[in-house]
Amino acid sequence: MLQFNFGEYTTRVFISREIPGLDKIAADVDPQPDSSELKSNLFFICDENTGYIADKICGSFIAPRCVLKSGEESKTWDSVELILEAARKASCGRDSYFIGVGGGVIGDLAGFAASIYMRGCRFMIVSTTLLGMTDASVGGKTGFNLSGIKNLAGSFYPARNVYMPLECLSTLPEKELKSGFAEMIKTAILDSDDFLEQLSIKNYLDHELPADLIERAVTYKGAIVSEDFRESGRRMLLNLGHTFAHALESAAGLGEISHGEAVAWGIARACELGVMLGITPAQRAEKIIKLIKSYGYIVSSPHPLVSDTEAFFNAIKSDKKKKNAKLTFIVPGTESAVPVTMETENDFKLLYKVLNVQKT
Query: Which residues of the chain form contacts with ligand NAD (CB under 6 A)?
Result: 47, 49-50, 70-72, 75, 102-106, 108, 128-129, 131-132, 135-136, 139, 141, 150-151, 168, 171-172, 176, 179, 259
Angle at 263 between CA 328 and CA 308, to 5 degrees: 80
Shortest Cβ 48–ligand NAD spacing (Å): 6
Q: How many CA atoms lie within 13 A of 139 on its CB side?
A: 27
Catalytic residue among 259, 269, 287, 303: 259
Catalytic residue among 65, 246, 284, 303: 246
Contact 244, 269 (CB under 8 A): yes
Nearer to ligand NAD, 102 or 332 (CB): 102
Nearer to ligand NAD, 240 or 291 (CB): 240
- Distance, CA of 162 to CA of 156 (rounded, Å): 15
230 catalytic residue (yes or no)? no
Shortest Cβ 358–ligand NAD spacing (Å): 30
Q: Find, among 59, 106, 112, 107, the residue nearest to 84 by Cα.
A: 112
Nearer to ligand NAD, 35 or 226 (CB): 226
Nearer to ligand NAD, 181 or 275 (CB): 181
Buried b (16+ CB within 10 A) or exposed e, 49-81: bbeebbbbbbeeeebebbbbebebebbbeebbe
Contact 192, 107 (CB under 8 A): no
Three-state SS for 293? helix
Angle at 96 between CA 92 and CA 100, to 5 degrees: 100
Shortest Cβ 22–ligand NAD spacing (Å): 19
Catalytic residue among 8, 17, 119, 345: 119
Write out the DSSP string of 32-76: PPPHHHHHHTEEEEEETTTHHHHHHHHTT----EEEEPPSGGG-S
317 catalytic residue (yes or no)? no
290 catalytic residue (yes or no)? no
Shortest Cβ 36–ligand NAD spacing (Å): 29
Catalytic residue among 122, 141, 186, 269: 141
Nearer to ligand NAD, 38 or 316 (CB): 316
119 catalytic residue (yes or no)? yes
Shortest Cβ 136–ligand NAD spacing (Å): 3
Q: Rounded to 5 degrees, what are φ and ψ at 9?
A: -105, 155
207 catalytic residue (yes or no)? no
Catalytic residue among 178, 186, 242, 269: 242
39 catalytic residue (yes or no)? no
User: Amino acid identity of 55?
Assistant: D
Catalytic center residues: 119, 141, 183, 221, 231, 235, 239, 242, 246, 259
